[in-house]
Structure 1
Amino acid sequence: MSGAFALKDRLPSSFSGYVPPLPERDNSQIQYTYDEKRRIALEQVDEASFTIFHVKACLVAGIGFFTCSYSIFAIGIAETIIGLVYGVEGAKLEPKSELALKVSTQVGIFFGQLVFGWLADVLGRKRMYGFELMIVILGTLAQACAGEARNGRTISIVVMLTVWRFVMGVGIGADYPLSAVITSEFSPKKVRGRMMTAVFAMQGFGNFAAALVAFIVTQAFENQIKGDEEARQDSIDRCWRLLIGLGAVPGCMALYCRLTIPETPRFTMDVERNVEQAVQDVNTFLTTGKYNIDSDAVIRRGIAPKASWADFKQHFGQWRNLKLLFGMAYAWFALDIPFYTLGLNTPGMLKALGFISKDCPREYKATNAHNILRGVSRGNIILAAGGLIPGYWFTFLFIDSWGRKPIQIMGFIVLTILFISIGIAWDRLHNHILGYGGNVLVLLYCLANFFQNFGPNTTTFIIPGEAFPTRYRATAHGISAASGKFGAIVAQVIFSTLRAQFKEKPRPDDQTCNDPDPFVKYLMYAFSFFTLTGAAATILIDETKGRTLEDISNEDQDQFISGPGPLEIESHDAVDYSGESHPLHRIHSSEP
């Protein structure tokens, strides 16, 4: 028959998955409208068992996220190494240079989240996925190969790195809405939170891997770093290039899989309005884990709500939708201020926590390079393993039972208490930094890392990927994520300014700097304000646990999509209620 396509042939004889109930119809002829076909296909996705396809989807998204996280946080260690080669008097980069290296990435991420979030809703998730990873790989490799002119004026290493980190940041920013939305739209309802958490947890492993690679390359070049001046400079220069460049390796491994991942059926149905292709895709990837598309097939599009500026204003002009977007955007903003201030300035924080030498700047130079780099990398490993990674996996365990909203509120409140406690106890603990004071500060810092991830850092990524209509889901996620990165940018600028004002003065040779960053305690009080307001903003957000994406979207799903006429099913082909069958065995159209 013209336009016929059989789903029965694609189902294995052993298939016994969830079979949505058929509407009662005349047995002589059963007609399925576009809307009913959409409903059944979505129920297949929502009620599906966890299969190898879902494992692949998590791995493909997760490896790319690992690459992005590695590249973001590696600069916190790399800027220390770069300063020992290109810094003032072979010691440290100037504050404005450090700021440029860190903020350029965040600015790129900000634009990437907004632009690619919108493009993913216009052009499709599949078309953008993989392309953004190419940008990350290009930016990463270009940084590793960057150099400067002999006098450092015509071409500056800091300028070149800043440009390429911005480019890389655009690709990283694109990965946030794309990975979140693709994972959520493919996930079964009952495990959606855990699948999205598993993807986002790769951020912690990327952070850990950056510290581990830094430690390994530092130890590998130990003899050269401790050698004469020329050997030391060359080996230190190789260290930061290896540290940054190796971040492209996992991205290259994931690139092919991202380029070949199928389009999500929700986008195909709700945005492209190609219901027949979406139904075919659902049954194909759920049963075979593969993706096929007939380029010669005739496409007949249904009628469904279309994305437009007028429709966007109409949807988000309703308070119930606007409050969701505002609550998610502000919560992410409030979280990223402390998260990236601490995460991107780890060397300075490690110095304050007593992990590395507290020598004044005059001793912070290349002759002590090995001790400095080993201390920075070792401290990052301990903080990541002791707080960051466990936090993600506690969220993984409880996200689909406790829910997103309780975890986010709990995390914000505990962070508020921890930041206030650190601020109050800072002076007393620092007077005993080499004894119990240092241990207590490290414990509190690890707890803060833990409750950032067993809390708002994970949930602010998950909820926007669930809470909006398909035609605006990636755009809204990009807006929410970009709000967070705006907070990170503001925090970095303020942190750099405060650091310059509180910068320690040189001391006599027989003294050390008692408190490397005396303004940290004031930052903790500021952090507590934002985390408390983040908890308040979370009240505006609806719980998404156990609900379908269509229910969460706040749109009426009755007659959501329609076609020019009914889609007919011959009863002898369609109605088979044995455990081996599916309601869409043989569907064809009588439409002109």
Structure 2
Amino acid sequence: MPQQLEVLNALDVAKTQWYHFTAIVVAGMGFFTDAYDIFCISLVTKLLGRIYYHVDGSNRPGTLPPNVAAAINSVAFCGTFSGQLFFGWLGDKMGRKRVYGLTLMIMVVCSVASGLSFGHTSKSVIASLCFFRFWLGFGIGGDYPLSATIMSEYSNKKTRGAFIAAVFAMQGFGILAGGMVAIIISVAFKKQFPAPPYAVDPVASTVRQADYVWRLILMFGALPAMLTYYWRMKMPETARYTALVAKNAQQAASDMSKVLQVELEDEQSKVEQITQAQSNTFGLFSKEFLRRHSLHLLGTSATWMLLDIAYYSQNLFQKDIFSAVGWIPKAATMSALEEVYRISRAQTLIALCGTVPGYWFTVAFIDVIGRFKIQLMGFAMMTIFMLGLAIPYHHWTTSGNHTGFVVMYAFTFFFANFGPNSTTFIVPAEIFPARLRSTCHGISAASGKVGAIIGSMGFLYIAQSQNPAKTDHGYSTGIGVKNSLLVLAGCNLLGLVFTFLVPEAKGKSLEEMSGENEAEAAAAGSYDGKTLNV
């Protein structure tokens, strides 16, 4: 085993300390905000349709046209895709901390701006909403590679997986919070401004004050981000970036001495030796990177993309699936605010029973079972449960067995989160060199957002085009949803196959996984050619 820099070895073997939990909360609140901002839109899209697309004199609730619904649901993902690539690259060029606060401020400003979307016509309001949600997604995108990289570089190797998973698990609380906030706001407005069911009075069922409901729900996402900005700015730069990329061993030792509360030796001369070792200077587009890590990058990118096709389709359109099987009543039987309440309650129940527990099962077991096995199991179980929903779909929709459908549906979320939704976030932060770690994580995450865009737009059009007999929501009740679930099951099966390209990082240091110990060994003249184990 080649000699490790003392400051990095101290991080690898450090016992779990208070700074670990501080880093989890500070980085995790970004993901709480990310999930809230991304998924809260699904709670209010039907309300937007009622408010801005109701046809005067019509006896049907207003619904968003397919192209408008697709734009509202996917525009944030387009911004996230851009942000992941840009901030991933910037995090390697300027340092993780220097751009960390910028992503948070973009999220705060654009959350508020989304709720203040303006215009004199329906089209102008929706256009301004889409504009602000694109830039909201841009800030959210930056949070992915930076949070993952910072947490991986702060962690010890024994519990690194659990710490990174705990950061990502805050996404579950964000989804849960979105549903709870929507419930509270819709109930408050229902009591203050009661309205008859749509079937009784189509016009009065959407009260004028309902326009404030979706705006308040969207703007609430700014609050948790604002509360953690100060603490993000107090975090020191990670020692791995400072020592291995910025080549400043003195600063790295000084920063980590304060964090770990131990005295660390300044090893500037050793860092300079490592810098001179040419085996570790290859770039992202070099033949050496292609030889060492191209299959790893393909594996992390492909599995994340395939997972997100299924995961975001399920999350964004679960309200339509629940309407199709009859768990949520038809829109024509209830007022606009009642519909928001019912949709929010359904999403909150799924998050509470399936989504949140899945994340924390990963936290508990990832450093015991390992990343590879958890991801393989998750893809396999998601495939099984989606087939269990799709193949007997006629039974679920005609037997009135809503409870059975919801239980199986919740299990798909459980195994998504106790599976690839967590591991695809964790692994790219562990297996690439420090100077490319944020960039490669950004590329992997951006591939995931390509999947999210495919899922959010593809599910919508499949559900609308397969059956000409639409529900009052504008979505087919039968073959469209069934075929969508079959397609998603196929995506999960492909994800299982691509998992075999991803190496296991359990119990290994970041330098072992990335091969950076090879450069240290070369600098010491002791590399035996067998250290790199990926």
Structure 1 length-normalised TM? 0.81
1:177-217 deviation per Cα after TM superposition (whole angstroms, max 9, x unaligned): 00000000000111111111111001111001000000100
1:59 is aligned, of 25, 29, 33, to 25
Task: Name the structure 2 match of 1:269.
Answer: 243
Measure the CA separation in 2 of the matches of 1:457 and 1:425.
26
Residues 238-273 of structure 1: per-residue CA shift (max 9 Å, x gap): 111110101100000011111221100000011101
Question: How far apart in 1 are the matches of 2:214 and 2:130?
Answer: 15
Once residues 379 and 60 of structure 1 are traced to their aligned partners in structure 2, the CA distance between those partners, rounded to angstroms, is 29
Q: Given the alignment of the two structures, is residue 528 of structure 1 paired with residue 489 of structure 2, yes or no?
A: yes
What corresponds to 1:317 in structure 2?
290
**Corresponding position of 2:52:** 86
Q: For residues 238 and 165 of structure 1, what CA distance do their matches in structure 2 show?
A: 18
| Deviations 1:292-351, CA, capped at 9 Å, x for gaps | xxxxx9xx9662579988564233210x41111111111101100010011111221221
Which residue is equivalent to 2:221? 247
> What is the rounded CA distance, in whole Å, between the counterparts of 2:395 and 2:301 in structure 1?
37
Change (3 A) 1:311 1:488: closer
Matched, 1:395 2:356: no
- In structure 2, the CA distance between the partners of 1:446 and 1:111, relative to structure 1 (3 Å rule), is same
**Does structure 1 residue 157 correspond to structure 2 residue 130?**
no
1:325 corresponds to which letter in structure 2? L
Residues 1:551 and 2:512 aligned together: yes
Identify if the C-alpha distance between structure 1 residues 203 and 426 changes in structure 2 by more than 3 Å, giving closer, same or farther: same
Task: Say if 2:361 and 2:418, in contact at 8 Å, map to a contact too.
Answer: yes
Distance 1:136 1:484 in 2: 20
The one-letter amino acid of 2:504's match is: E
Query: Who is 2:419 aligned against?
Result: 455
Considering fraction of residues, name the structure with more helix: 2
| Alignment equivalent of 1:348, drawn from 320, 329, 337 | 320
Q: Name the CA distance, whole Å, in 1 between partners of 2:276 and 2:521.
A: 6
Conserved? CA contact 1:348–1:517, under 8 Å: no
Cα distance, 1:562 vs structure 2: 6.2
SS for the counterpart of 1:226 is coil
Q: Distance in 2 between matches of 1:143 and 1:561?
A: 53
Give 1:285's aligned residue. Answer: 259
Partner Cα separation in structure 2 for residue 497 and residue 231 of structure 1: 28
Deviation at 1:503, TM superposition (A): 5.6
Q: How does 1:442-521 map to 2 (within 5 A)?
A: 442-502=406-466, 505=469, 516=477, 518-521=479-482
Map of 1:567 onto structure 2: none
Structure 2 counterpart of 1:114: 85
Consecutive unaligned residues of structure 2, counting only runs of 5 or more, are 56-60, 197-202, 525-534
Instruction: Give runs of aligned pairs for residues 6-405 of structure 1, distance below 5 A.
Output: 39-89=5-55, 91-149=62-120, 151-152=121-122, 156-227=124-195, 232-287=206-261, 303=275, 310=283, 312-318=285-291, 320-358=292-330, 363=332, 368-405=335-372
**What is the distance in 2 between the residues matched to 1:209 and 1:222?**
20
More off after superposition, 217-226 vs 240-249: 217-226
Distance change >3 Å, CA 481–CA 453, structure 1 → 2: same
Which amino acid counterpart does residue 361 of structure 2 have in structure 1? Answer: F
Measured in 2, the distance between the counterparts of 1:559 and 1:378 equals: 55
Q: CA deviation at 1:57?
A: 0.5
User: What CA distance in whole angstroms lies between the structure 2 residues aligned with 1:506 and 1:533?
Assistant: 31
The one-letter code of the counterpart of 1:385 is L
Would you say the 8 A contact 1:224–1:231 is kept in 2?
Answer: no
The alpha carbon displacement at 1:415 in A equals 0.9
Give the letter for the 2:459 counterpart: F
* 2-structure distance, mates of 1:269, 1:428: 60
Once the two structures are TM-superposed, the CA of residue 152 in structure 1 deviates from its matched residue by: 3.9
**TM-score when scaled to structure 2?**
0.89
Quick one: structure 1 residues 531 and 232, their matched pair in 2 at CA, closer, same or farther if it must change by over 3 Å? closer
| 8 Å contact kept, 1:466–1:552 | yes
Cα drift, residue 447 of structure 1:
0.5
Q: Which amino acid aligns with 1:65?
A: F
* 1:429–1:438 CA contact under 8 A, matched in 2: yes
The percent identity for this pair of structures is: 36
What is the Cα deviation at residue 227 of structure 1?
Answer: 3.7
Once structures 1 and 2 are overlaid, which stretch shifts more, 349-358 or 109-118?
Answer: 349-358
CA contact (8 A) 1:468 1:553 kept: yes
Q: Write the letter of the residue equivalent to 2:233.
A: L
With 466-475 and 549-558 compared, the bigger mean Cα shift is at: 549-558
Q: Which has the larger radius of gyration?
A: 1
Q: Deviations over 1:380-422 (max 9, x none)?
A: 1111011000101111111010000000000001111111121
- How many angstroms does 1:235 deviate by? 2.1
- Is 1:427 the equivalent of 2:394? yes
* 1:522-545 deviation digits (Å, cap 9, x = unpaired): 111111211111111111111100
- Aligned partner letter, 1:63: M
Alpha-carbon distance between aligned partners in 2 of 1:344 and 1:165, rounded to the nearest angstrom: 15
Q: Alpha-carbon deviation of 1:232?
A: 4.7
Could you say which residue in structure 1 is the equivalent of 2:527?
A: none
Conserved in 2, the CA contact under 8 Å of 1:466 and 1:544?
yes
Q: Which residue of 1 aligns with 2:378?
A: 411
Q: Is the 8 A contact 2:80 2:449 kept in 1?
A: yes
- Structure 1: which 5+ runs fail to align? 1-22, 24-34, 290-296, 564-592
Equivalent residue letter for 2:487 = A
